[in-house]
Every structure is written in structure tokens, then in C-alpha cells.
């Protein structure tokens, strides 16, 4: 029986590299690569060897005969992708950086960040060169978006973090955690001690709605909400209050679905995941019966991926808010479109001025916008414009999942309008469009907040290739390479930040969290404050 790729696919193409029959697509170099919901196995040419399943960092590839429950549909989705497609589209393209001849030896490169983009970058550099890599992060524990951004009930997706253990424990990797660029060390100082610096700092800020009342307690960005239930130390345990009744989410992408699923989810099931204890306690003591996702456009423009919708847990009733515009789009849906996916879903006309009915409901409401949030001291209602009427909806929780943007790093060019570091294929550009010597960017800080975890692998490949080309051409203006320069950087960092966490401290955090998880039947129990992380790492005051 052939294999099939399921919901937790990270699309990093590790499976494509090892497939002996080239039956997994789209692959790097093909037009659809990076644009499909998941990668797909062609059942016509799969030989059931299992090499792809062994290589998959997210455990997303499984034999069709073992698929159960909501995963059964992925056998059909994999096969459907190849209907009317040739068995081979393009020759297989390597997903590793191409190393030009003449790359200097004994380089020292700084990588800022420990999320997927930064980790893939460090791995490419270590694999392609003999460079020493300084990995710097402002938090004591690595992981970035894998730790604080992936939904806690997506445990298989979180397993991608295991891919980076080799990177963070490599003998040429030097970890400097709890160190912030711009506070403890400057960009200029990084360049003084390294041949090049690569920024993989993500897109940590929510895009604002720009409405009256947006600053009321009870109105939150999705980034803050997701970080809260994931135990991010940047977000206080009491930052989000889960209210009874009905909650609203602006947006209908995968993150919006994640938030809705966590709010409506089976608490006992969530208790077996990495969810933060404070979030679990809040969900246990609340009674969220309905979550409404508000989309500005019609159902044909819904931003969620098919796998996320098809794998909603049992017990959550999915409904579409009924109105003439939505009904027309659903009834006339083009086969294979987002609207066609939603066409069979039951429709409802809700009264958002009254309490929701018993049960747990996820309602998708299209062609609607929030124009105002009101309340005396905290959120009490929102004004929603719709295709047929405007409504003053009662609620105490509004989550805005309208996208993310980057944040400027002191000393590094930043495009405020786009919310990214200006660059050409990863080379950082000044505001006049000229390359900044020795400075590179990767991930969402480079291309904007789009693309999943696996997209960062090819993104990292592109950036590392530009860095190595510049190194070969003599364009890096880094320091001379005398012995001991690594020790000088370590001395500088330790002077500025005595509580720096190194490799042994990171290992101690990992061991403590997994041990606590083992005692409670969970993958791990996260330490959710900087002080607890530092204490566990042995970084004493």
C-alpha cells in the first residue's frame, strides 16, 4: 500500500530528497512548491519503501492502511493532487545550499534567533563550511515560533524541533541565550567579532485593526493569545481572560482556526499536550460555547488550509453564517475551491445579541468587519458590519488574527511600511538599496509572515548561498581570523550579560521540562517565566 502525507506536513522537502521514485510533489523548482497546503505522495508510483516516513521531521507521512478518523481523507487528497498531472514535472532539485569553490575557511558567523528560519540557516552553514557559528537569542530557551507559535495540540508539528538538536549541540555551535541584540551587544559589535551576521528574528508583532476600542482589555492579537496558551515568557499568565459564552476571532486563516480550536477544545485532551498550565486552568474554569470567525471577504477567499479544517476535533459543530452573499458563493462554488469545501457545511442565522446555545460551535461568518470595540473598563461588545445588517454583538473576548509584522533590530535597516528587513535574496540592503556588508536576513523577517515551517528551509538555502558567494568574492569585511577571537566575543557577552545561558544551560532546561512532562503524562511541562528558565539553566544572579 502507498504512503500518504497528512495534516502535520511541514513542507521542508526532507522527504523529497530521499524518495527513490521521485513521487512526492510539488518539489523545489516546481511552480506549486511553497503554495500548496501540504506535499503529496503520488500513489501511482509510490513503492511503499518508507524512506519518506523515516525522513519526515513532523511524522506526517503514514501508510494509507493505518490512517484512522480524520486522517482517512488524506489518502484521497494525496491521490486527487495527481489527477490529470504527469508523473514527473521537473528534475529533482537539491534543497541544500550550493557551495561555490573558494569559500574561506575558519569563518565565524553569527545567527540571531533560534526559530525554524534561524535553525535551518545555522544547519546549512555547519553542513556546508567549517565555520564556527554563534547562535544568539534574547530568551533563555531556543525554539522561537516552534516553541511559542505552534498550537499545543499539534504535537507532531512540534517534533520538527528534534531536527535542530544536531544544530544546537554541534561542536562548532556556540549558544548565547538570554542575550538581546541592541541591549547586550550591538549589531556593529557582532560584525566586529564575526565575518557575517544572519538575522532570523521572525515577525513578532500583530498587525493592528485600527479600530476604536482596540486597546480595551479583552481585545488581543492572535500572536499574544497563541503565546499565552503556549507559555511564552513574554506574555503574563493573566494576560488573557477566557470568558463564558461567545468569543470572536477576526480572520479565518490557520492561526484563527488554532485559537478557535483551543478555546472550544476538550480540556482533558488539551491536558495531555504542552499547553501552559495557566491557560489550561483558565479553560477549565470557563465555558466557551461558540467561537465566530469573521472574514472580511467571501468564503472563496477563506485563508485556512484544507487539512486544518478537515481535522477539527470531534464534538465541535462547524457552521457557516447564512446570508445572501455567502449562500451565492457557496452554491456557485468552483470544484476544488475553498468555497466548494464549505458548500456542504450546514448554515445558520445567529443572534449575536443573545447567549449562544448549549454545545460547542465554530461559526464561519464571511463578508463582515469589526468597526468598533466598546466597554466600560474592558470589552463588552463589538460592532460588526455585514452584508445584510449591522450588529452590536455581545462578547468579552475578541482575538485579531490579521497577520504579523517584523520589528526593527537596532542598527539594522528596516522597512516600516512592509514590516521586513529590506533585502535582495537575503542580502540586507540599506534604505538606498545598497548591500549592507556582512549582514543577511532569513525567514519572516526577510519575506514577510507567510509560508509555514518548511518554507524556511529553502529560504535559508537562498540566504546562505548569497553569504557564501559574497565570502568567496571577498565582499565580507569581517575581522582578521586570529586565534582566540571566539573567546573575546564570549568575554564581551559575559561582561554585558552575566546571566547568559550556554549549551549546558539549554540542556538543563530541556531535561527539566521533559522530566516534568513524563511525571504528568505530557510531552513536556514548560517553564513559563524567564526567572524559572534561568534558575533551571544555572544562570544565577
Residue 157: the pLDDT is: 87
CATH of residue 293's domain is 3.50.50.60
CATH of residue 170's domain is 3.40.50.720
CA distances from 382 to 89, 98, 299, 368, 481 (A): 50, 53, 22, 12, 60
Quote the pTM value: 0.91
Residue 90: the pLDDT is: 52
Verify that 267 and 287 share a domain, yes or no.
yes
Residue 436: the pLDDT is: 96
* Domain boundary residue, one of 369, 400, 431: 400
Verify that 199 and 231 share a domain, yes or no.
no
Is residue 259, in this structure, part of any structural domain at all?
A: yes
Share of the chain above pLDDT 90, in %: 77
Write the CB contacts of 162 (distance below 8 Å, at least 6 apart in sequence). 57
List strand residue ranges (DSSP E) for 114-237, in order.
Answer: 132-137, 173-177, 196-199, 205-206, 219-221
Give the residue among 285, 276, 283 at the shortest CA–CA distance from 532. 276
CA distances from 92 to 28, 96, 113, 427, 472 (A): 7, 12, 30, 26, 27
Residue 194: the pLDDT is: 95
Is residue 99, in this structure, part of any structural domain at all?
A: no
Verify that 71 and 177 share a domain, yes or no.
no
- Whole-angstrom Cα distance, residue 128 to residue 269? 43
Angle at Cα 261 formed by Cα 255 and Cα 265, nearest 5°? 155
For the chain, state the CA radius of gyration.
Answer: 24
DSSP 97: P
Residue 483: the pLDDT is: 61
Q: What are phi and psi of 38, to 5 degrees?
A: -145, 175
Give the residue among 350, 356, 354 at the shortest CA–CA distance from 388. 350
Residue 17: the pLDDT is: 87
Residue 96: the pLDDT is: 65
* Domain boundary residue, one of 377, 400, 423: 400
- Whole-angstrom Cα distance, residue 481 to residue 196? 13
Is residue 216, in this structure, part of any structural domain at all?
A: yes
Is residue 531, in this structure, part of any structural domain at all?
A: no
Write the CB contacts of 48 (distance below 8 Å, at least 6 apart in sequence). 1, 2, 3, 63
Verify that 338 and 412 share a domain, yes or no.
no
Write the CB contacts of 60 (distance below 8 Å, at least 6 apart in sequence). 5, 6, 7, 8, 9, 10, 38, 156
| pLDDT tens sequence across 89-134 | 555 566 666 777 788 888 999 999 999 999 999 999 999 999 999 9
Verify that 362 and 425 share a domain, yes or no.
no
Verify that 292 and 380 share a domain, yes or no.
yes
* 194 and 515 Cβ atoms separated by less than 8 Å: no
Is residue 515, in this structure, part of any structural domain at all?
A: no
Verify that 288 and 334 share a domain, yes or no.
yes
Q: How many domains does the chain have?
A: 3
Q: Could you give the 3-state DSSP secondary structure of residue 423?
A: strand
* 243 and 287 Cβ atoms separated by less than 8 Å: no
Verify that 127 and 43 share a domain, yes or no.
no
Verify that 282 and 392 share a domain, yes or no.
yes
Residue 482: the pLDDT is: 57
End-to-end CA distance of the chain: 58
* Domain boundary residue, one of 400, 417, 448: 400
- Whole-angstrom Cα distance, residue 460 to residue 454? 10
Is residue 513, in this structure, part of any structural domain at all?
A: no
Give the residues across from 181 on adjacent strands: 185
Mean pLDDT, the chain, integer: 92
Domain containing 26 equals 3-81
CATH of residue 49's domain is 3.30.70.20
Verify that 241 and 313 share a domain, yes or no.
yes
Residue 317: the pLDDT is: 96
Is residue 183, in this structure, part of any structural domain at all?
A: yes
Q: Is 331 exposed, middle or buried (0-12, 13-18, 19+ CB in 10 A)?
A: exposed
Using N-to-C axis directions, what is the helix angle for 254-264 and 222-229, rounded to 10°?
A: 50
* 303 and 253 Cβ atoms separated by less than 8 Å: yes
Verify that 418 and 493 share a domain, yes or no.
yes
Q: Is 28 exposed, middle or buried (0-12, 13-18, 19+ CB in 10 A)?
A: middle
Verify that 321 and 459 share a domain, yes or no.
no
Is residue 157, in this structure, part of any structural domain at all?
A: yes
Intervals of the chain under pLDDT 50: none
Amino acid at each position: 500500500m502507498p504512503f500518504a502525507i497528512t495534516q502535520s506536513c511541514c513542507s521542508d522537502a526532507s522527504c523529497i530528497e530521499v524518495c527513490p521514485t521521485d513521487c512526492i510533489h510539488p518539489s523545489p523548482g516546481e511552480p506549486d512548491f511553497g503554495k500548496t497546503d501540504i506535499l503529496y505522495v503520488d500513489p501511482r508510483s509510490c513503492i511503499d519503501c518508507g524512506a519518506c516516513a523515516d525522513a519526515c521531521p513532523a511524522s506526517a507521512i503514514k501508510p494509507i492502511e493505518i490512517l484512522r478518523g480524520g486522517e482517512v481523507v488524506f489518502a484521497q487528497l494525496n491521490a486527487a493532487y495527481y489527477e490529470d498531472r504527469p508523473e514527473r514535472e521537473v528534475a529533482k532539485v537539491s534543497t541544500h545550499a550550493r557551495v561555490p569553490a573558494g569559500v574561506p575557511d575558519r569563518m565565524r558567523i553569527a545567527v540571531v534567533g533560534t526559530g525554524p528560519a534561524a535553525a535551518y540557516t545555522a544547519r546549512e552553514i555547519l553542513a556546508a563550511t567549517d565555520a564556527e557559528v554563534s547562535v544568539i537569542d534574547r530568551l533563555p530557551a531556543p525554539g522561537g515560533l516552534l516553541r511559542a507559535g505552534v498550537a499545543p495540540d499539534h504535537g507532531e508539528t512540534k517534533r520538527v524541533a528534534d531536527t535542530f538538536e544536531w544544530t544546537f549541540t554541534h561542536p562548532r555551535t556556540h549558544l548565547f541565550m538570554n542575550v538581546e541584540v541592541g541591549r547586550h551587544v550591538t549589531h556593529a559589535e557582532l560584525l566586529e567579532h564575526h565575518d557575517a551576521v544572519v538575522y532570523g528574528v521572525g515577525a513578532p508583532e500583530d498587525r493592528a485593526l485600527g479600530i476604536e476600542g482596540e486597546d480595551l482589555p479583552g481585545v488581543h492579537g492572535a500572536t499574544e493569545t497563541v503565546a499565552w496558551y503556549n507559555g511564552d515568557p513574554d506574555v503574563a499568565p493573566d494576560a488573557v481572560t477566557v470568558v463564558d459564552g461567545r468569543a470572536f476571532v477576526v480572520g479565518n486563516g490557520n492561526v484563527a482556526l488554532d485559537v478557535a480550536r483551543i478555546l472550544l477544545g476538550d480540556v482533558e485532551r488539551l491536558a495531555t499536550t504542552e499547553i501552559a498550565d495557566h491557560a489550561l486552568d483558565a479553560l477549565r474554569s470557563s465555558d466557551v460555547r461558540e467561537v465566530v470567525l469573521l472574514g472580511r471577504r467571501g468564503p472563496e477567499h477563506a485563508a485556512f488550509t484544507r487539512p486544518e479544517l478537515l481535522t477539527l476535533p470531534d464534538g465541535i459543530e462547524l457552521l457557516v453564517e447564512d446570508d445572501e452573499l455567502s449562500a451565492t458563493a457557496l452554491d456557485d462554488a468552483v470544484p476544488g475551491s475553498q468555497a466548494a469545501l464549505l458548500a456542504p457545511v450546514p448554515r445558520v442565522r445567529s443572534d449575536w445579541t443573545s447567549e449562544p446555545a448549549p454545545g460547542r460551535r465554530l461559526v464561519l461568518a464571511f463578508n463582515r468587519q469589526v468597526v468598533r470595540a466598546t466597554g466600560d473598563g474592558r470589552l463588552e461588545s463589538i460592532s460588526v458590519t455585514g452584508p445584510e445588517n449591522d450588529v452590536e454583538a455581545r462578547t468579552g473576548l475578541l482575538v485579531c488574527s490579521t497577520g504579523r509584522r517584523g520589528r526593527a533590530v537596532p542598527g539594522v535597516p528596516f522597512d516600516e511600511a512592509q514590516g521586513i528587513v529590506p533585502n535582495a535574496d537575503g542580502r540586507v540592503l540599506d534604505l538606498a538599496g545598497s548591500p549592507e556588508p556582512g549582514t543577511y536576513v532569513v525567514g519572516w523577517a526577510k519575506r514577510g509572515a507567510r509560508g509555514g515551517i518548511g518554507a524556511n528551509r529553502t529560504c535559508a538555502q537562498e540566504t546562505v548561498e548569497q553569504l557564501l558567494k559574497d565570502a568567496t568574492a571577498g565582499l565580507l569585511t569581517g575581522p582578521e581570523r586570529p586565534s582566540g577571537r571566539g573567546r573575546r566575543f564570549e568575554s564581551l557577552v559575559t561582561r554585558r550579560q552575566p546571566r547568559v545561558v550556554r549549551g549546558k544551560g539549554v540542556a538543563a532546561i530541556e531535561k527539566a521540562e521533559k522530566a516534568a512532562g513524563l511525571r504528568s503524562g505530557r510531552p513536556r511541562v514548560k517553564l513559563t517565566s524567564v526567572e524559572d528558565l534561568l534558575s533551571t539553566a544555572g544562570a544565577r544572579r
